[in-house]
Structure 1
């Protein structure tokens, strides 16, 4: 099993964002510290300021910032998924562009973590 962990400012707000914008399902929430969500075969761990992961990282990096890691959400309707993500509080970092394998855009969640939307060519 694999999982991606994002550091977030507010676990409850992040659960709502990922559930509403991308149809993630909440598996378990550990109060304000941590939540586990799934979407298809992806497991996403949302770690809030009270989580042990954030507390450990702050010891070596007091200025934790979202990194350039990102999850990729595969979709057949990149325009509507982008619009829904924006309505839920996300931001466009790189607008929809086209390449040899399909279309992609890069969004930011409300905490600045990156999400790539990708729609492959038929």
Structure 2
């Protein structure tokens, strides 16, 4: 794996649907496709590992805990115009956890991927 990539793993319910979501709607490029078990997609230096239930990354821990999608840890994607992106993604039928929040550093909103994993869209303050 090239050292220039930062890798993040998301547990997903449907690998092909997740690949379509990230590549079609969020500008990722398919890097590796192992069918329903696993895929990796890249955007800039981010390598997102999409692990389905048949992947090693989704196996139960020795104490019985099972990795599942969702939670609050998230990737952050920079956007140049958050309102335009939100409108485009809402028209595509996507769900957001909140409305755009404006803060000192910029504006943000949380988008759910098809498995409920959060993605923060962030527009830096100008």
Same fold? TM cut 0.5: yes
Residue 51 of structure 1: how far off its partner (Å): 0.5
What whole-Å deviation, never above 9, does each CA across 1:59-118 have from its counterpart, x for those lacking one? 721473422110000010112222333344531102111111111111111211000010
| Matched residue, 2:90 | 86
* Residue among 67, 71, 84 paired with 1:67: 71
Change (3 A) 1:56 1:87: farther
Change (3 A) 1:92 1:7: same
Q: Is the 8 A contact 2:12 2:68 kept in 1?
A: no
Correspondence list, 1:1-122, <5 A: 1=3, 2-57=6-61, 60-62=64-66, 64-122=68-126
Q: Which moved more, 1:75-84 or 1:104-113?
A: 75-84
Change (3 A) 1:77 1:33: same
Unpaired segments ≥5 residues, structure 2? none
TM-score (structure 2 length as normaliser): 0.86
- Structure 2 Cα separation of the partners of residues 109 and 79 of structure 1: 18
Count of residues in correspondence between the two structures? 122
Which protein is richer in strand relative to its size? 1
Unpaired segments ≥5 residues, structure 1? none
What whole-Å deviation, never above 9, does each CA across 1:20-78 have from its counterpart, x for those lacking one? 22100001101211101000111100001110111244972147342211000001011
